[in-house]
Amino acid sequence: MERFRLMRNIVTCNKCGDTIESKYISDCVRCKCGAIGTNGGTEYQRLVGEKGDICLKKSIYKDAKRGTLITHKELGKLKKNTKELMDSFGVMSVGNGFIDCICSKDEIIRFSDALSKIDIEVTHFTLWEVVEKLDDKPKAGMGGPKNRFAEGWYAELNCNNFEYRGIENLLEIVNQYELEFGCVVAPGLWLDI
């Protein structure tokens, strides 16, 4: 489920100051000076122009969890807070977003508490083998990223994605797979943001 859904596809041009809105799927609009444009209505936001010329702060999203509207700026702040929280717990995402946010088993309870305090939910998780040193080979995992916060790296374990059913259930699964694979396992959380 996507928590934040685009409701108003509104973009402002930083060059000419014009504010435009794409209202339906093939409503391709351009600003007065032509530097920027947007398309897709509320289905998707297809932006045209240089990144520095585009201002998204007037776009509006619906927060499915709270049933309220949220501006692009507020959503940006929530993402920034989440990133800062991840950094403070040494949690790294495998990509750029909020999927596969790998957290050590020792920090997982405190991190999940901190997430719920800022109203962010975990939807799913994957499992990763903690490899202590960069040159070490994983016992059970496959490829994976370097740990940004410590020595070593994370090797993806060959198992399904799990639906998140609370922290106790997650720890049970992590412990079970540590026994099965004979390695240290860290969960990669999928955050609903």
| Binding interface with Zn ion (CB under 5 A) | 13, 15-16, 31, 33, 35
Q: Which residues contact 166 (CB under 8 A, 6 or more apart)?
A: none
CB 68, min distance to Zn ion, A: 31
CB 15, min distance to Zn ion, A: 4
CB 23, min distance to Zn ion, A: 19
Nearer to Zn ion, 39 or 112 (CB): 39
- In angstroms, the CA 165 to CA 146 distance is 28
CB 56, min distance to Zn ion, A: 14
Nearer to Zn ion, 50 or 84 (CB): 50
Nearer to Zn ion, 7 or 28 (CB): 28
Nearer to Zn ion, 13 or 157 (CB): 13
CB 7, min distance to Zn ion, A: 23
Q: Which residues contact 122 (CB under 8 A, 6 or more apart)?
A: 112, 115, 164, 189, 190, 191, 192
CB 38 within 8 A of CB 9: yes
Nearer to Zn ion, 31 or 170 (CB): 31
Which residue's C-beta sits nearest to Zn ion?
Answer: 13
